[in-house]
Amino acid sequence: MDYTYIPKGVCSTKMTFSIEDGVVKNVNVTNGCDGNKKGIARLVEGMNPEDVISRLKGIECHSKGTSCPDQLANAIEQVLAERAQ
Could you give all domains of the chain from N- to C-terminal order, each with its CATH number?
Answer: 2-84 (3.30.390)
The whole model's pTM is what?
0.95
For the stretch 41-50, pLDDT in tens is: 999 999 999 9
The full DSSP string for 2-50 is EEEE--SSSS--EEEEEEETTEEEEEEEESS-HHHHHHHHHHHTT--HH
What value does the mean pLDDT of the chain take?
97
Which residues, in sequence order, are CB contacts of 52 under 8 Å at separation 6+? 24, 44, 72, 73, 76
Cβ distance 43 to 51 under 8 Å?
A: no
